[in-house]
Structure 1
Amino acid sequence: MRFRKLLPLLLPFLLFTACKQDYSILQDSVPDPLENINSPLRFSDADYEELRQELDIEQDINFPLAEIPSHLASRSRTTELTATQQRRAMLGRVLFYDRRVSVTGETSCATCHAQEFAFSDNKAFSDGIRGAHTARNSFPLGSVPSFLTAPTNSSLPAVGYYSPPPPDVPEPKFGRFFWDGRAKDIVEQSRETMSNPIEMGSNLEELADKLNQERIYQILGRKAFRDEELSPGDIILAIGDFMTTMSSTDTRYDDLQDLKTNRVPMSRILEDFTLSEVRGGEIYRTSCASCHHSSMAEPTVKMANNGLDRVYTDKGSGAVTGDVLRNGFFKTPFLRNLPLTAPYMHDGRFATLREVVDHYSEGIQDHPNLSPILRNDDGSVRNLHLSEYDKQALVDFLELTKDRTIQTAEHLSDPFIR
């Protein structure tokens, strides 16, 4: 029986029904909210043989999440995806790397979000279709910590940053996705990215019809959604679940934070870290954490004007909202995997971390919308005026944020036989 026909019976369990956002695209994509987390995950021999014609994958499906560091433990309910989420992640992995997702067959999600760069790009502006280039720097998808948090209704699966929010989460005032915050959730973000005439140029409904003609998607769709026919909502949920597995909590930064959380003596900390790295951590705590969060979880300040320019040609959130008081507001990025995600800022203007540090030390511009955090009590610009030693110390500390496995994790890699 087609699982979606059970929709009326499952409405009390659905993750999306009480949200103010428009999730109509997901109405045919029903999760298994109570499925056993330890259900076996394996393709049949016949299906696996067919998939192997195009894909270099294992017969067993396994999408682990990184172990949660102790300093972040209070933010996580579980470090595993449900069996349903893992099957969707398998489909999402294939979709993420498939250039057939773009209307011309030139680009995939991985074109702008490459694993070797923590799912960002090493160019200020990424390659699009038909020779075009994106208007802004690629946002590093792999810099999200990717721990799961539990909704109030504990019978529902835990959700990650890239999941549609559960019913008890209020609609955000400004969006979580894109540099200008124009998308409030993964649904809006995915639809706009795939339809963007520069990035992919696809219509989600037409894309679903096209992919449904491909045998691998019939097999993967049946495995993920108990149906060989993918819907637009299936595509969004699958890619979101795959992105949730881009865990970035296995870093030397997290090692340092765990030592501090456990109140170990400084002599013990200095066995693993240099004085410069420790000093940089103190500068970060006093000068950066008020926006980016002391534990590098989701930033404390979601969007801000950080004084890049006195006059902005790209007005950011101001252009989206029509509010001149938000001109120059851009999304505050996560700071994990910084050594892998250059260039920096929404326009990729800074090629190195040292250039970023120099900006906050001497280069903040006195724009009328400058974040109050970047002003002194008298209203003047709060440049940090760091010494050369402290600048290098802050760079040394920020380089601790590189995840040990993000570039090499097999379950995050391109599955296609090229």
Structure 2
Amino acid sequence: MKKSGIIISASVLATVFAVNFTACKKENQQSNTPGILIQEPNLKAEDNKYLEKHGVNNDLAVLGRVLFYDKNLSVNNQVSCGSCHKQEFAFADNVKVNKGFNGIDLKRNSPSIQGLRGFGNDNSTDFNSNTGGFNPPTETSMPTKDNQTDLLLFWDGRQNSLADMVLNPVLNHNEMNIPDFETLINKINSISYYPELFNKAFGSSEVTKEKIAYALQGFIACLNTDKDTGKNTNFNSEPFEDNFSPVLITSTLTGIEEEGRKLFHNKYNCAKCHDSNPQDPGEYGAVTSPSQMFNIGLDEVYTDKGLGALTKKQGDQGLFKVPTLKNISVTGPYMHDGRFNNLGEVIDHYSHNIKPNNNLSPLFRNFDGTPKKLNILPAEKSALIAFLNTLKDEDFLTSPMYSDPFKK
């Protein structure tokens, strides 16, 4: 999802919009403005509990939700952010790779965008103690790439700014293909339901790139499932057994699920990468530190070089971000290229299929440099999968708060 570096001529744009209008007119009623898809979001007041649950202003999150699911944000009204990041799949998708606005396969698997941080700054002016939520942004408080430095976004970690990330797919020439921000703003200004939504969120119906980005961030900031996901599992930070894992205080895990949890945290130490925040044990969220990118031996020679494609450094080739394990049972296919169809195939990789590679992480090397073979037993594999399945949050996957408001 990188920004397009292509300059599109006026004649090409005219052709694209003309073809789009003809095609869409057959299936969708159009407004008086060519290229606009007529639809009305179905917004219910009882669904708007963003402030109560996530500390995000309700009106801001509602605007962000509408923008997130609005196909008008693509050049031919065929693709929205929600087309690749679907609620029922924990805002990932169930296909190897998605297709862009033109039906062409995209390069990578769509990662889950749940649990992303970076909304709002540390400035005290951003938080309103009276409402318990974030204020609309000012010129000085607007999140920018310069005041967000603790994030790791996309599979290759190429951005640390959520403010930039949310609009990248809109301008990407393979994904949504809006040519520039002026075109995007003009298009949104032509849609009947946005003046009221922007006015509620910002006190003004004026549409700007910054407001669009901030509203999208506000909604995405709500895409967080509770730490105690699915089954009742509560932890404290006291060490046990390997001086790394959290102690399980209360649990409704079954015998096989509890066995999987112990294997995860102890014998195979999956938590070294997937639950490495000592301040928040049991989180299983996406790791945001750039030091937590790994080459896990998927290939001997990587076609997609990950971080190495950006840095051009030999030592960075094949390094990719550690994903969240929240709702992991519904986010397959897995890995940056969607090569593994299910969790069993993922475990098989770590068990006996790690490939030799010059950049293979030391975590997966023997003393002689050869790839480790964990040789996970069939019963252990079943237990690990049973435990990972407990990280599913049904409410998060079905709540109207996060759903597509344009679905009838």
Residue of structure 1 equivalent to 2:33: none
What percentage of residue pairs aligned between the two structures are identical? Answer: 36
Match of 2:322 among 296, 318, 332: 332
Alignment of 1:179-198 (within 5 A): 179-198=155-174
- The answer as to whether partners of 2:39 and 2:406 remain within 8 angstroms in 1 is no
Match of 1:355 among 337, 345, 354: 345
SS in 2 for 1:131: coil
What is the TM-score when the length of structure 1 is the normalising length? Answer: 0.74
**Aligned residue identity for 2:315:** L
Distance in 1, matches of 2:61 and 2:181, equals 18
Tell me how far 1:374 sits from its aligned partner.
1.8
Structure 2 CA distance for partners of 1:320 and 1:153, relative to 1, 3 Å: same
Tell me how far 1:268 sits from its aligned partner.
6.8
Tell me how far 1:133 sits from its aligned partner.
1.6
SS in 1 for 2:394: coil
- The answer as to whether partners of 2:228 and 2:234 remain within 8 angstroms in 1 is no
- How large is the RMSD of aligned CA atoms in angstroms? 3.2
In the alignment, is residue 81 of structure 1 matched against residue 81 of structure 2?
A: no
SS in 2 for 1:406: helix
Match of 2:207 among 214, 219, 230: 230
Residues 283-302 of structure 1 deviation map (CA, whole Å, 9 limit, x = unaligned) = 21132111111521342653
SS in 2 for 1:126: coil
Tell me how far 1:183 sits from its aligned partner.
1.7
- The answer as to whether partners of 1:250 and 1:404 remain within 8 angstroms in 2 is no
- The answer as to whether partners of 1:253 and 1:397 remain within 8 angstroms in 2 is no
Residues 347-370 of structure 1 deviation map (CA, whole Å, 9 limit, x = unaligned) = 000001010011011111111111
Note the residue ranges of structure 2 that are not aligned, 5 or more in a row.
1-37, 128-132, 135-140, 241-245, 277-281
Residue of structure 2 equivalent to 1:371: 361
Residue of structure 2 equivalent to 1:210: 187
Distance in 2, matches of 1:128 and 1:166, equals 27
SS in 2 for 1:130: coil
Tell me how far 1:328 sits from its aligned partner.
0.5
Distance in 2, matches of 1:387 and 1:326, equals 32
Tell me how far 1:113 sits from its aligned partner.
0.6
Note the residue ranges of structure 1 that are not aligned, 5 or more in a row.
1-51, 67-78
- The answer as to whether partners of 2:235 and 2:247 remain within 8 angstroms in 1 is no
Distance in 1, matches of 2:353 and 2:205, equals 55
Distance in 1, matches of 2:256 and 2:214, equals 43
In the alignment, is residue 290 of structure 1 matched against residue 234 of structure 2?
A: no
Alignment of 1:2-401 (within 5 A): 54-59=40-45, 62-64=48-50, 80-82=54-56, 85-142=57-114, 144=115, 153-154=123-124, 156-157=126-127, 171=149, 176-202=152-178, 203-249=180-226, 252=229, 255-258=232-235, 269=251, 272-286=252-266, 287-294=269-276, 295=282, 296-299=284-287, 302-401=292-391
**Aligned residue identity for 1:411:** M
Tell me how far 1:198 sits from its aligned partner.
1.4
SS in 2 for 1:257: strand
Structure 2 CA distance for partners of 1:259 and 1:279, relative to 1, 3 Å: farther
Tell me how far 1:205 sits from its aligned partner.
2.7
Distance in 2, matches of 1:326 and 1:375, equals 17
Structure 2 CA distance for partners of 1:147 and 1:188, relative to 1, 3 Å: closer
- The answer as to whether partners of 1:291 and 1:332 remain within 8 angstroms in 2 is yes
Distance in 2, matches of 1:110 and 1:92, equals 12
Aligned residues: 344
Distance in 2, matches of 1:362 and 1:348, equals 19
**Aligned residue identity for 1:279:** E
Tell me how far 1:257 sits from its aligned partner.
3.5
Structure 2 CA distance for partners of 1:150 and 1:93, relative to 1, 3 Å: closer
Residues 370-410 of structure 1 deviation map (CA, whole Å, 9 limit, x = unaligned) = 11222234433233221111111111111111112122111
Tell me how far 1:227 sits from its aligned partner.
1.2
**Aligned residue identity for 1:181:** G
Distance in 1, matches of 2:100 and 2:226, equals 31
Distance in 2, matches of 1:399 and 1:241, equals 28
Structure 2 CA distance for partners of 1:368 and 1:414, relative to 1, 3 Å: same
Distance in 2, matches of 1:339 and 1:390, equals 17
Residues 15-68 of structure 1 deviation map (CA, whole Å, 9 limit, x = unaligned) = xxxxxxxxxxxxxxxxxxxxxxxxxxxxxxxxxxxxx981211246723379xx
- The answer as to whether partners of 1:136 and 1:346 remain within 8 angstroms in 2 is yes
Tell me how far 1:86 sits from its aligned partner.
2.3
- The answer as to whether partners of 1:193 and 1:200 remain within 8 angstroms in 2 is yes
Moved more, 198-207 or 147-156: 147-156
SS in 2 for 1:395: helix
Structure 2 CA distance for partners of 1:219 and 1:262, relative to 1, 3 Å: farther
Distance in 1, matches of 2:333 and 2:186, equals 37
Tell me how far 1:95 sits from its aligned partner.
0.6
- The answer as to whether partners of 1:86 and 1:241 remain within 8 angstroms in 2 is no
SS in 1 for 2:232: helix
Tell me how far 1:258 sits from its aligned partner.
3.7
Structure 2 CA distance for partners of 1:375 and 1:89, relative to 1, 3 Å: same
**Aligned residue identity for 2:348:** D
Structure 2 CA distance for partners of 1:166 and 1:281, relative to 1, 3 Å: farther
Distance in 1, matches of 2:118 and 2:174, equals 32
